[in-house]
Amino acid sequence: MMASGSVKKEIGESHDVLRFGVNDSVRGELAPLHPVQATIQKEAKFWADKRRFGAEAVYGSAFNIRKDLDAQILSK
């Protein structure tokens, strides 16, 4: 079973809820987001899209493609 953070979780594994939050646990996929957390995520996505659109307007579409490619390379 894959958790939301793409980290494999075992059923009997202990989970530190205070450290990682409820939504990172095995049952995290079943628990809905808190309304404040959902609002914060929507707002963060909105501003990330605005920054992406602004970068594309100033530097062109190749800048965002290159940034995504660099992020993929560095994440490995």
Q: Which residues, in sequence order, are CB contacts of 17 under 8 Å at separation 6+?
A: 25
Of 51, 43, 1, the closest CA to residue 26 belongs to: 1
- For residues 32 and 22, give the distance between their C-alpha atoms in angstroms, rounded to a whole number: 10
The domain locations on the chain are: 1-32, 33-75
pLDDT tens by residue, 19-69: 666 555 555 566 788 889 889 999 999 999 999 999 999 999 899 999 999
Query: What are φ and ψ of residue 10, in 5° steps?
Result: -95, 155
pTM for the model: 0.51
